[in-house]
Structures are given as C-alpha cells and as structure tokens.
Amino acid sequence: MRAPSKVNLTLAVGPRRPDGYHDLQTLFCALSLGDELTATPAPDLSVRVTGEGAGHVPTDERNLAVRAARALAEHAGVPARARLDIRKGIPVAGGMAGGSADAAAALVACDALWGTRVGRDALHDLAAGLGSDVPFALLGGLALGTGRGELLEPVPAAPVTYHWALALAPEGLSTPAVFAELDRQRDSGRVPGSVASPEPVLTALRAGDPVALGRALVNDLQPAALALRPALRGPLEAGLALGALGAVVSGSGPTVALLARDAADAEELAAGLTRDGVCAAVRTATGPVPGVAVLDGGAF
Ligand code: C5P
C-alpha cells in the first residue's frame, strides 16, 4: 500500500473538551510524500520500519500499524497474523500524519491479506478509534474534517494540483504538548480564540487559484508550535522571502509547508531553503492525491 501524508490548509481549534480532545474544523489536503506498507503472511504479528526517521518509530505494541492490525483482527474475529514492512517517507512526529498513514495502510492491507472484507464504514470506524487523522489517510484528496478531525466531508474543488516545498525539522514535536501549549496561551489571554476560518481557502480551491490559497493558509496551532520551537520562524520567513505563495506550520508541526507556483518553483524554493540552512532537510510534494491505495496491484 501507498499511504499519503497530509497538510492542514486551515486548522481551527476549539476549546478543550471534557475528554481532553479539542473540537477541530480543518481542511485536509493529502500529499504525495508518502509511506509504503507491505503485509505478508506470517505466524504472528510483527512490524519492521525502514527509511526516514525509522529509528524513532516503536516496533512493539505501541506501533500504530500494529494497533490497527490488532483492531481489525478483533473486529473481524480472525487471528492477527501478518508481517508488516513499513518504508517511511513521511517525517516522524512532523505534523504530517505519518503514523496515521501507516495505520490506515495496515487496515487496508490486512483486510485484503486476511480476506476479511469488512467494508468501508467499518474501516472508517476502526480508523477513527486509532487516531484523529487516520480516517483522512483512508479517504485522501481534499476534505473538511470536524469533531476530533475524524468526521469527513469531501470538498468541491477545481481539478488543480498544488506544488509544495516542505521544510523538515531536526527533531519532532509532541502533538499533545502543542495542544497543551495552545490551551496555556489561551488561558493566559496571550492569543485569541480561533482565527482560522476555512472560507477563504474553500473559495480559492473552488477557483483553483494558488495565489489566493497561499494567502489563506492558516493554523491555530502555529503560535503554540512557534512558542515550543522558535527556530520555526526560520523556514517560515525564509520561504516567504524566497517567493513562496504562502507558508504555514503543518498540523502540530514542526514541518513547515510552503506553497509554490508550480513544480519548478517548488524545486527552487527547496534549493533556497537548503542554501539558507533554515531546516534539517527539504522535500517537495504535490497534492491533493488519493488516500491509501494498492502500490503494485498484486494484492487484489
Ligand atoms: O487522535 P490522536 O491520537 O492523533 O491525537 C493525539 C493527541 O493530540 C491527543 O491525545 C490530544 O492531546 C491532541 N488532540 C486534541 N484534539 C484533537 C486531536 C488531537 O487535543 N482534535
């Protein structure tokens, strides 16, 4: 399976709920920077992880792909027997839903491997139980997410592919820590309530206008991510100085997403960011792309 990463084009965070989560209203865009996952028959359940930041991914029962396989096995009443091989392309703890992508890929892969065929609704419910971003990794494309982010509605948009440069940080950020920092900032009156309206982005997407989209990118978590990692000002400011149409922290960070005019512009932005030395690594990506999909067609 190939599983996409995501960037939040808008991310509005509501107040903290009694269950500790926050109500969100977010526009997800699936990106081509992805992970690959293969499930093969095995006597028990195990996972191997290679590629980008693999050393930081747990390979025991905490691994989100392992939890996904176990959840599917339990739901379908079959033994959890598979070897999962994950090749990471998505930065680990980067705000791009890499763990969620692996969980979504594991659900689809094991459903095919075990012949359980639980159907789309059950896959969605299992995904929502695993994490707020997992249902979107299944769906892909462009979608408005509400609730914890798990209630999804596809978004009407002109058929335009957008080009991005992604500035990767040397170290990840903890999502709960970033949400907690936002709560602290709001409690102390340092930041207002939500400022992230999706309307300007929805208008830009309907028109297929990358300039308007760049101007409209907004993320309520950005001030909190910046408070915890002030160095993120580097890629945000350098990207805009290099001519990016827009710059925003992706999800809870620390990856910074820079919107480019076209593919050549994205490459130039990436080269400029590398020259300026404002981030640990740079990738380019396009979006929207589909959700989890079979890579080689062999599994079906
Ligand atoms: O759902 P997921 O496990 O990805 O969320 C990770 C953490 O991010 C949660 O434990 C919570 O602290 C925070 N979060 C939140 N509100 C959301 C989504 C995530 O507070 N809607």
Looking at residue 193, what is its pLDDT? 85
* CA distance linking residue 7 with residue 92, whole number of Å: 14
Mean pLDDT across the stretch 86-110?
Answer: 97
Mean pLDDT across the stretch 105-114?
Answer: 98
The residue whose CA has the least distance to atom 7 of ligand 1 is 176
Ligand 1 and 22: CB distance under 6 A: yes
Q: How confident is the model at residue 11 (pLDDT cuts 50, 70, 90)?
A: very high
Looking at residue 292, what is its pLDDT? 97
Helix (H) / strand (E) containing 238: helix 233-241
Q: Which two tokens stand for residue 278?
A: 């404002």
Q: CA 106 from chain center: how many Å?
A: 16
Looking at residue 299, what is its pLDDT? 42
Looking at residue 190, what is its pLDDT? 81
**Three-state secondary-structure class, residue 295:** coil
Mean pLDDT of the chain: 96
Ligand 1 and 148: CB distance under 6 A: yes
Q: What is the pLDDT of residues 180-235, one digit of tens each?
A: 999 999 999 888 888 889 999 999 999 999 999 999 999 999 999 999 999 999 99
| pLDDT above 70 as % of the chain | 98
Does pLDDT of 106 surpass 50?
A: yes
Looking at residue 298, what is its pLDDT? 47
Q: Report the atom number in ligand 1 closest to the C-alpha of 99.
A: 4
Does pLDDT of 275 surpass 80?
A: yes
* CA distance linking residue 166 with residue 253, whole number of Å: 11
Lowest mean pLDDT among 90-94, 166-170, 228-232, 293-297: 293-297
pTM for this structure? 0.96
Ligand 1 and 114: CB distance under 6 A: no
Residues 6 or more apart in contact with residue 270 via CB below 8 angstroms = 165, 282, 283, 284
- Angle ∠(214,220,224) on CA atoms, nearest 5: 115
Query: How far apart are the CA of 221 and the centre of ligand 1, in A?
Result: 12
Q: How many CA atoms lie within 13 A of 8 on its CB side?
A: 32
Looking at residue 52, what is its pLDDT? 84
Mean pLDDT across the stretch 282-286?
Answer: 98
Ligand 1 and 149: CB distance under 6 A: yes
- Count the Cβ atoms, other than its own, within 10 Å of residue 62: 10
Mean pLDDT across the stretch 164-180?
Answer: 96
Length reported for the chain: 300
The residue whose CA has the least distance to atom 15 of ligand 1 is 21
Does pLDDT of 136 surpass 70?
A: yes
Q: Contact at 8 Å (CB) between 194 and 14?
A: yes
Mean pLDDT across the stretch 35-41?
Answer: 97
Q: Give which of 130, 52, 127, 57 is closest to 90, Cα–Cα.
A: 52
Residue type, 231: A
Ligand 1 and 253: CB distance under 6 A: no
Looking at residue 296, what is its pLDDT? 67
Q: Contact at 8 Å (CB) between 92 and 98?
A: yes
Q: Give which of 24, 169, 45 is closest to 110, Cα–Cα.
A: 45
Q: At what angle do helices 120-130 and 98-113 cross, to 10 degrees?
A: 140
Mean pLDDT across the stretch 161-184?
Answer: 96
Q: What is the pLDDT of residues 242-273, one digit of tens each?
A: 999 999 999 999 999 999 999 999 999 999 99
Query: How far apart are the CA of 258 and the centre of ligand 1, in A?
Result: 24
Q: Contact at 8 Å (CB) between 141 and 30?
A: yes
* CA distance linking residue 255 with residue 94, whole number of Å: 5
DSSP sequence for 91-143: PTTSSS-HHHHHHHHHHHHHHHHTT----HHHHHHHHHHH-TTHHHHHHBSEE
Could you tell me the sign of the dihedral formed by the alpha carbons of 256, 1, 113, 111, in that order? positive
Query: How far apart are the CA of 178 and the centre of ligand 1, in A?
Result: 10
Ligand 1 and 111: CB distance under 6 A: no
**Catalytic site positions:** 6, 133
Alpha helices of 7-54 — where are they, by DSSP H?
Answer: none
